[in-house]
Structure 1
Amino acid sequence: MPNMEAKKVAKIMVEEVFVRLGTPRIIHSYQGRQFESELFREECRLFHIQKIRTTAYHPQSDGMVERFNRTLTSMLSAFVQENQTDWDEHIPYVMMAYRSAEHKFTQFTPNMLMLVRETTLPLDLQYEMPEHMKIETPNEWFCILQERLDRAHNVVPQHIEDAMNRQKKYHDLKMSWEKFKKGDKVFVYFPQRKVGCSPKLTSFWRGPFEVLEQWSDVLYAVNCDRKGEKQIIHCDRMRKKKEQVLNFECDAPEARDESIL
């Protein structure tokens, strides 16, 4: 895209996504201005699309996209020049290879799930199958197509669910978080680096702020916006403020009086 303006993003969503693949039920995006604009919200209302968003500074809530970007950059790194100025020219060819490779979780290629067939690759043209082996009557082709559709729609969701449960199991083994309630004073982590300041000497924790309400088991509304408005914060970025009490304040008043005398 030439830019990330709301008008350009909304136009591309219609002309490059909706008219080709149909309108989705849900759009999940990060909290960029182009996706939070009134124009994009009106577009979602027009097409009856539910708009949801990631939690700020929490890339795990967009994990599938982040993981794909990692795979894409890894593939591009094998082809770009040393000056890395031609990476965009390799994207169509790298994506051709990606779409024709079997996915680890679905156990199908993206081409098969989207087109219900494999695309013709240069290797297929070089070692082309004899024509007499390709001949199928219309009825046979229809049966094969229906079998592929049934298999994909029945098998893939189960594979994805198994993979998600496996990932969640390993992820939860390393997870531990605090529980908060309304009115708690908390510090919030903002990983924003300042120009000219060393990150080693910069404190990324701001606050204390107040927990306004609980949205889910891990999401809370906190008044940590620059204007004092609420933001939805993941518990990973929150730490409860602990009251600082001096040693003599822990003693009973009588004991404190005796120690003074």
Structure 2
Amino acid sequence: MKLEFLALKLDMTEKFREYLLGQKCTVYTDNNPLSYLSTAKLGTMEHRWAAQLASFDFVIKYRSGRSNKNADALSRQYASGTPDLDPVLPGTRLPGVLQLTQMSPRMEASQAAQVAFPLCSSLDMLKLQQADLIIQELDTFWEQKCRPTTQTAVFSCFDAAPTMGPSGGAGWGAVPPGLSPRWSRGGFSSGARCSKEQVLTEVHQKHGHQGVERTLELLRQRCYWPGMSVDVTDWCQKCERCQVAKANGPPARSPVGHLLASRPNEILAMDFTVLEPTRGGLENVLVLTDVFSEYTLAFATRDQRASTVAEVLVTEWFSKFGVPARIHSDQGRSFEGTLIQQLYFLYKIEKSRTTPYHPTGNGQCERFNRTLHDLLRTLPNSRKRDWNACLPQLLYAYNTTPHQATRESPFFLMFGQEPRLPVDFLLGRVQEPTGGAVHDWIQEHQARLQGAFDGAQRRLQVGAARRKRN
């Protein structure tokens, strides 16, 4: 019974957790003692397994071996081959968003963005504002041409009046709590207007199902509305896919802070993690993390050989970002082989290592491994066996979100500019192309990067000192 009980625990708590949690299921087994699990005398280890299964709603039913032919067939028979299928059926119509790529190249960028990401129409905006209680109060005062003298709540709402105009509701520049206005350095600015649900969907569901802090930091850089922190927290906590897929254990400790860099590409940390095999047989993932900017890349590989590591380093990092001054990893054979040592000697790279059985020595990579597993669990069920095809999108979402350690996005610290995200088109934050001298742009770019580098380095040092005290 012990082996069957272990198999049940592993399958329900690890393999199929996101499918079974919150669902009523029936377990059929040809092991008769396992069907009496609720009344059996269990040892210490079995009690721990039973405690892990307590959050699942399941019933164990006994099925004799002669009647359990479906399980025997799955375990003993093998398919002779898979039929060739056309990836696209004849006559299949592409989605409207994909057809936009065939537009005329002379179309203006702002016009194409508005077509690809339509905002609320004036009629929809008028209906939303007419249903808002605060807008109704303000509309009364606009008609009377007077300022209220009572009701403290109305006073607080009326402070937004200078940014509004009596243009029938749909043309108001700043939007009250029911809607989210665009935010700039000077305050509210008129422009794109959309519902909070649209914005939260773009920055959470369509941006990798990231946590509360990362989603909130991404949103703070782009817009503002009263109570935004509470709304983001509530939205993430009510996300069904996040609650089912992500572990609900105690919060993980932050990575140790002995690795301190002063610039991007100074220290490159790398590590391997293993995932569920894809349809093509890929299960190994090589993770490369820039210690200063936290910019991370991950590549699915067929093995963990030193030749594979060397090929990925040269083709995917050295040729695109330059050669780092130091590479940090554990003492695995993949990172300590003769080929890797020759690569370090050829490129004059310094090598540092973690102590044996001490994974926190490579905290940046180890923490990202857990984040990567959480992000992959949020994929739809139809894409879980093709996670290698989803890696670029998940990494883009991770790298374009502000990191908790630096308060800046890894993309910005690595390249010196923020990328354009779908939520930027939704909020109307896409800037029109402007001309100017290259020298002026370089000076502004250097000043902006220097300020970001100083702030990130200061926060990294403070975090390292705090972790050392703890």
TM-score under structure 2 length normalisation: 0.34
- Deviation for aligned residue 1:55: 1.6
Aligned to 1:36: 336
Structure 2: 5+ residue runs without aligned partners? 1-300
Label 1:40 to 1:164 Cα distance change in 2 as closer, same or farther (>3 A): same
- Deviation for aligned residue 1:129: 4.1
**Which one-letter code corresponds to 1:20 in the other structure?**
K
1:85 alignment partner, SS class: helix
- Deviation for aligned residue 1:168: 1.6
CA contact (8 A) 1:80 1:86 kept: no
Aligned to 2:327: 27
Label 1:85 to 1:130 Cα distance change in 2 as closer, same or farther (>3 A): closer
Aligned to 2:414: 114
CA contact (8 A) 1:23 1:47 kept: yes
In the alignment, the residues of structure 2 paired with residue 143 and residue 23 of structure 1 have an alpha-carbon distance, to the nearest angstrom, of: 25
Q: Deviations over 1:18-73 (max 9, x none)?
A: 11111111111112212111111011011111112222221111112111111221
**Which one-letter code corresponds to 2:436 in the other structure?**
T
Q: How does 1:1-261 map to 2 (within 5 A)?
A: 1-81=301-381, 84-129=384-429, 134-135=433-434, 137-138=436-437, 140-170=440-470
- Deviation for aligned residue 1:82: 7.7
* Runs of at least 4 residues off by over 3 Å: 125-132
CA contact (8 A) 1:80 1:90 kept: no
Label 1:73 to 1:80 Cα distance change in 2 as closer, same or farther (>3 A): farther
CA contact (8 A) 1:106 1:160 kept: yes
TM-score under structure 1 length normalisation: 0.59
Relative contact order: is structure 1 or structure 2 higher (C-alpha 8 Å, sep ≥ 6)?
2
In the alignment, the residues of structure 1 paired with residue 327 and residue 306 of structure 2 have an alpha-carbon distance, to the nearest angstrom, of: 15
CA contact (8 A) 2:307 2:339 kept: yes
- Deviation for aligned residue 1:13: 1.0
CA contact (8 A) 2:330 2:355 kept: yes
2:328 alignment partner, SS class: strand
CA contact (8 A) 1:105 1:160 kept: yes
In the alignment, the residues of structure 1 paired with residue 468 and residue 397 of structure 2 have an alpha-carbon distance, to the nearest angstrom, of: 29
Structure 1: 5+ residue runs without aligned partners? 171-261
In the alignment, the residues of structure 1 paired with residue 375 and residue 385 of structure 2 have an alpha-carbon distance, to the nearest angstrom, of: 15
CA contact (8 A) 1:44 1:51 kept: yes
CA contact (8 A) 1:25 1:50 kept: yes
Aligned residues: 169
In the alignment, the residues of structure 1 paired with residue 408 and residue 329 of structure 2 have an alpha-carbon distance, to the nearest angstrom, of: 26
**Which one-letter code corresponds to 2:467 in the other structure?**
Q
Identity over the aligned pairs, expressed in percent?
33
**Which one-letter code corresponds to 2:343 in the other structure?**
E
**Which one-letter code corresponds to 1:168 in the other structure?**
K
- Deviation for aligned residue 1:128: 4.0
In the alignment, the residues of structure 2 paired with residue 3 and residue 85 of structure 1 have an alpha-carbon distance, to the nearest angstrom, of: 18
In the alignment, the residues of structure 1 paired with residue 342 and residue 368 of structure 2 have an alpha-carbon distance, to the nearest angstrom, of: 29
In the alignment, the residues of structure 2 paired with residue 2 and residue 68 of structure 1 have an alpha-carbon distance, to the nearest angstrom, of: 20
CA contact (8 A) 1:111 1:117 kept: yes
CA contact (8 A) 1:31 1:54 kept: yes
CA contact (8 A) 2:400 2:410 kept: yes
CA contact (8 A) 2:331 2:354 kept: yes
Aligned to 2:269: none
- Deviation for aligned residue 1:130: 6.6
